[in-house]
Amino acid sequence: MNSAFAIFFQRLIYFFTKIDLLILVCYLFCLNFPYFNFSYFPTHDTQFVFQSFYFFYNHLFFDHSVAQWMPFEPFGVPAHLTQLRQLTFMSYATMFGGWILGVKDVLILFKISVVAEQLVLLFGMYLLSRHLFRRWSTVLFVCLVAMHGSTSWWEQIYFDLRFFYMFPLAIYTFLLFFEKKKIEYLWFWGLILTLWVMGNTVYLTMVWCFIFLV
């Protein structure tokens, strides 16, 4: 009986190790499900980011072009600095997808873009932890900690998500460059850093200086 239970348990663990990333993705969706309630609205820094997302998406949706000037708060200031500070690559991808599909609920689109950034964090942390740790349980634990640390983005989206959402993927490609001695990984690392800057310039310099010191 004990041997049969042990075999069943081993097979169960083997099954979970094959679909562990899928399980983690599903769990991430479950963590974010409450935020998709219509009564939820972001606050503080996240609200400022959403306002910019709202303005740029409305301009794209109705005028079919990218806004060049900011009509509110800075009044007449060129829009490129606001884009660089508050819109990420995932923001653009989500807005473009919403524009193609004719989606009018901008808040839902914004929440989807944030979940997409969390998926980038999860994917990067999964690859990095699989590269560094042998035990499946350690990989699972590290990914769970990363996910729970990134789901409080409704108020401080920079501190709670954007500071570090591409950091694991950048470290992973950097390690691959030194281990495999292939220039492709260095170019990929540079591309990740470039994408990481988008929508993340407010405090990013301080964070990168701290990482360098560590």
Q: How far is CA 162 from the centre of its chain?
A: 7
DSSP 158-172: IIIIITTTTHHHHHH
Give the DSSP letter of residue 150: T
pLDDT tens, residue by residue, 114-138:
999 999 999 999 999 988 888 888 8
Q: Which pLDDT belongs to residue 59?
A: 85
Question: Does 5 have pLDDT greater than 60?
Answer: no
| pTM score of the predicted model | 0.83
Q: How many whole angstroms separate alpha carbon 150 and alpha carbon 158?
A: 10
Residue type, 64: H
Q: Which pLDDT belongs to residue 102?
A: 87
Q: List Cβ neighbours of 179 (8 Å cut-off, separation of 6 or more).
A: none
Q: Which pLDDT belongs to residue 61?
A: 85
pLDDT tens, residue by residue, 148-190:
877 777 778 887 788 888 889 998 999 999 888 888 888 988 8
With contact defined as beta carbons under 8 Å apart, do 109 and 36 qualify?
no
pLDDT tens, residue by residue, 18-74:
678 888 888 888 888 888 887 788 878 788 888 888 888 888 888 887 777 777 666
Q: How many whole angstroms separate alpha carbon 69 and alpha carbon 61?
A: 16
Q: How many whole angstroms separate alpha carbon 57 and alpha carbon 151?
A: 24
Q: List Cβ neighbours of 94 (8 Å cut-off, separation of 6 or more).
A: 109, 110, 112, 113, 116
pLDDT tens, residue by residue, 88-116:
899 999 999 999 998 888 899 999 999 99
Q: Is 35 exposed, middle or buried (0-12, 13-18, 19+ CB in 10 A)?
A: middle
